[in-house]
Structure 1
Amino acid sequence: MLTSRGRILLKPNGLPKLGCMESTSTPEPSPVYPEIRDISFRGRARLRAEAFANLVREKSSYEEKMMEINMPRIYGWTTYIIRPTKIVYNSEKFYKKITRTGMIQTENIPLHSHLDAINDLEKIKVRVIDTLEAELDYLKSVPLAERLPTEKDENLRTSKYIASVLSRALMLSAAEHDVDQVDIEEEPRCDTFWLVGGFHPPPIVKKCRTKYSPEWLRKEIDENEPVAFRFQYLGEPLIQLQSKHPLANSVGRDSAIAQEIEVPYCPYHPSSFELMKCRYYGTNVNATWPHASDKTFTTLSWLPFSCAYGKSGKNDIKEFSDNLAVVHGFGSMLAQACKLGFSPVNKITYPMTTQVIVGDGQYLSFYQYQLNTNVLDPLLLEENDPKNICWSTPMHRLYECVENGRIKGLDENVLLMLVNAFRVKSVQAHQELSPYFGDVKYISDLPDDEKRKSILSDFKEMYSNRPQHRRKRPEIYDWERIYKIYFETRPQDARRKWWAKDERISHQRYDIIRPRYVPRDMRDPPKRSRRGKGVVKVIDE
Structure 2
Amino acid sequence: MPKYYGYWSLHLTADNPTLSGAEYTQFATRTHLEKSLPVEYYSDVKEEAERITPLLKDQVEQLIHLNFNGILNRRNFGPGRASERHRTQNFLFGLHRIMASTLESSVQHIKESVVDVRPQIEAFWILGGIPPDRILKKARRNSPQKKDIEHEPIDRPVQGKSNPFLGVRVIDGLPEVVGKDDPMASSGTVPNIYMDPRAFGFRFKHKHATTVTGFWPGEAKQHSQLWLHTRELIPKFAQEYGPHNADAALVHKLVVASFSQALAHATYLGFGPVTELTYPIVQQSAITDGQQWNFSVYQLNTCALHSDRATVNPYNNILWLSEEQSLFEAVDNGGVKGFNPEVLTRLVAMYLKKGITRENPTPYLGPFKHLADHPASEEYRELFRSSLHHLLSNRPRHIPKPEIYLWEKIYKCDYKTRLYEPPRRFFENHYKKKDPGMCRLDEHNPKYIPKALRKSKQIKHMPKIDSEHLFKYD
Same fold (TM over 0.5): yes
* Alpha-carbon separation, structure 2, partners of 1:374 and 1:509: 25
Q: Is residue 132 from structure 1 mapped to residue 64 from structure 2 by the alignment?
A: yes
Q: Distance in 2 between matches of 1:183 and 1:405?
A: 36
Give matches, 1:82-481, under 5 Å.
82-106=12-36, 109-117=39-47, 118-137=50-69, 140-143=71-74, 146-148=75-77, 151-174=80-103, 175-211=106-142, 213=143, 215-219=144-148, 221=149, 223-291=150-218, 293-310=219-236, 311-312=238-239, 315-378=244-307, 383-404=312-333, 406-429=335-358, 431-446=359-374, 448-470=377-399, 472-481=400-409
Q: Structure 1 CA distance, aligned partners of 2:216 and 2:157?
A: 23
Q: Which amino acid aligns with 2:360?
A: E
Provide the C-alpha distance between the structure 2 equivalents of 1:306 and 1:80, rounded to a whole number of angstroms: 24
Partner of 2:422: 494
Q: Counterpart of 2:233 in 1: which secondary structure?
A: coil
List, as ranges, runs of 4+ consecutive aligned residues in structure 1 with deviation greater than 6 Å. none
Distance of aligned partners of 1:178 and 1:268 in 2 relative to their CA distance in 1, 3 Å threshold:
same
The whole-number CA distance in structure 2 between the counterparts of 1:106 and 1:179 is: 26
Cα distance, 1:388–1:179 mapped onto 2, change above 3 Å: closer
CA distance in 2, matches of 1:359, 1:459: 35
Tell me the distance in 1 between the aligned counterparts of 2:291 and 2:243: 13
TM-score scaled by length of structure 1:
0.76
Q: What corresponds to 1:56 in structure 2? A: none
Pick closer, same or farther for the CA change 1:254–1:485 going to 2, 3 Å: farther
Distance 1:277 1:482, change over 3 A: farther
Aligned twin of 1:507:
438
Q: Per the alignment, in what secondary structure is the counterpart of residue 180 of structure 2?
A: coil
Distance 1:289 1:166, change over 3 A: same
Alignment of 1:524-539 (within 5 A): none
Return the letter of the residue paired with 1:452.
R
Mapped contact 1:193–1:231 kept (Cα < 8 A): yes
Q: Give the conservation status (yes or no) of the 8 Å contact 1:193–1:344.
A: no
- Deviation, 1:156, is 1.6
Structure number with greater Rg is 1
CA distance in 2, matches of 1:252, 1:330: 18
Q: Are the counterparts in 2 of residues 79 and 278 from structure 1 also a CA contact under 8 Å? A: yes
Cα shift at 1:318 = 2.6
Residue 467 of structure 1, CA deviation:
1.4
Structure 1 unaligned regions, length at least 5: 1-70, 523-541
CA distance in 2, matches of 1:270, 1:337: 25
CA distance in 1, matches of 2:369, 2:137: 44
| Conserved? CA contact 1:109–1:391, under 8 Å | no
Deviation at 1:198, TM superposition (A): 1.7
Letter in 2 for 1:157: H
RMSD over aligned CA atoms reads 2.4
Distance in 2 between the 1:320 and 1:240 partners?
Answer: 21
Q: Could you say if the C-alpha distance between residues 405 and 317 of structure 1 is closer, same or farther in structure 2, counting changes exceeding 3 Å?
A: farther
How many equivalent residue pairs?
441
Range that drifts further, 370-379 or 493-502: 493-502
Asked if 2 retains the 8 angstrom alpha-carbon contact of 1:354 and 1:370, the reply is yes
Q: Is the CA contact (8 Å cut-off) linking 1:137 and 1:405 kept in structure 2? A: no
Matching residue of 1:484: 412
| Structure 2 unaligned blocks of 5 or more | 454-474
Alpha-carbon displacement from aligned partner over 1:196-222 (angstroms, at most 9, x marks no partner): 1222321111111112x2x23213x1x
